[in-house]
Structure 1
Amino acid sequence: MVPRTFRTWLLPVLCIALPLIVGIVGSFFTAGSIPGWYAGLNKPAINPPAWVFGPVWTVLYILMGISLYLVLRDGTERTPVRQGVILFTVQLALNLLWSIVFFYGQAVAAALVVLLLLIVLIAATAISFRRISVPAAWLLAPYLAWCCFAAVLNAQIWLLNGFPV
């Protein structure tokens, strides 16, 4: 049994911190490419201004953390909880991998493949979380929608700039 103090304040903090830390790590791979390589790319008309991405991702990471907390708050004894946490962890790793592949590796086509896999895993995580907490599943909906939008942007950047497969 998990101590009550851990469940009431430390677990939510850790659950929210985890995606935020992944976002911070991802920004180390991203930041150097924004003013140079990324700024020089042809982008679609629907591409948001650069300043939008930081606040949007911060909100999405916080929602992801709250979602994870709602799944973990009663412990990990149940198989659906463990399965959901595994899916969550894998999709979070793919989230980081996309930043590395797209910005650091400048491999736009490969990043699109990573992003499509990420979308599938986010959906699978939401479905898995729904068996435990319906609100936890819905908290992943904005993240899923943003990643679908990001896939459209990624694909258009690939096409507009003639990157190889």
Structure 2
Amino acid sequence: MTTTASPRAPLALAGFVAAVAVVAVAGALSSMNARSVYESLELPGWAPPPWLFGPVWTVLYAMIAVSGWLYWRAGGDRRGLGVYGVGLVLNLAWTPLFFAAGAYELALVDIVLLDVAVVASIILFWRRSRLAAWLQVPYLVWILYASALTVSIVILN
């Protein structure tokens, strides 16, 4: 396992944080009415309260950014970074599909693809940085939960 300890490392970290921040901000902007949409849906009894999403995503986004940076720093290759990038794009797409467009079935397809992308990232990251891979695990757990919730919403609504 090689580590890229270059003077560019802080700049690279800022790049990963910026990329993830774009996803977070775009999600926030496309979900301005998320609370009312969420509360108007028929939800399963195990659905989380609306207030939980913000704090969970804040922590997860920080972990996602650090994970990508650690992978890069450990000499991660383009394939792993590409899969990571695809995951960010899929993450970016889910919120507007679900909350802005009300396209619950498309949001379900998107999140299933996101699940696959995050699993692939974990596998690829593991080869270079186990910590980078482990930092993706809470994200995977949350989006698997969100996938199940999305399935339930599609069925119930």
Q: For 1:135 and 1:143, how far apart are their aligned partners in 2? A: 14
Deviation above 6 Å: which 4+ runs of structure 1?
A: none
Segments of structure 1 that go 5 or more residues without pairing to the other structure are: none
Match of 1:106 among 99, 102, 108: 102
For the pair shown, the structure with the greater C-alpha radius of gyration is: 1
Q: Quote the offset at 1:60 in angstroms.
A: 0.6
Q: For 2:115 and 2:60, how far apart are their aligned partners in 1? A: 14
Q: Percent identity?
A: 38
Match of 2:146 among 136, 145, 150: 150
Match of 1:4 among 3, 6, 29: 6
* Cα contact 1:68–1:85 (8 A) shared by 2: yes
Q: For 2:22 and 2:59, how far apart are their aligned partners in 1? A: 13
* Cα contact 1:126–1:137 (8 A) shared by 2: yes
Q: For 1:151 and 1:4, how far apart are their aligned partners in 2? A: 39
Per the normalisation by structure 1, the TM-score is: 0.87
Per the normalisation by structure 2, the TM-score is: 0.91
Q: For 2:6 and 2:115, how far apart are their aligned partners in 1? A: 35
Give the 3-state SS of the residue equivalent to 1:31 in structure 2: coil
Q: For 2:74 and 2:131, how far apart are their aligned partners in 1? A: 15
Q: Quote the offset at 1:88 in angstroms.
A: 0.4
Give the 3-state SS of the residue equivalent to 2:32 in structure 1: helix
Report the counterpart of residue 70 of structure 1 in structure 2: 70
Equivalenced residues, count: 154
Segments of structure 2 that go 5 or more residues without pairing to the other structure are: none
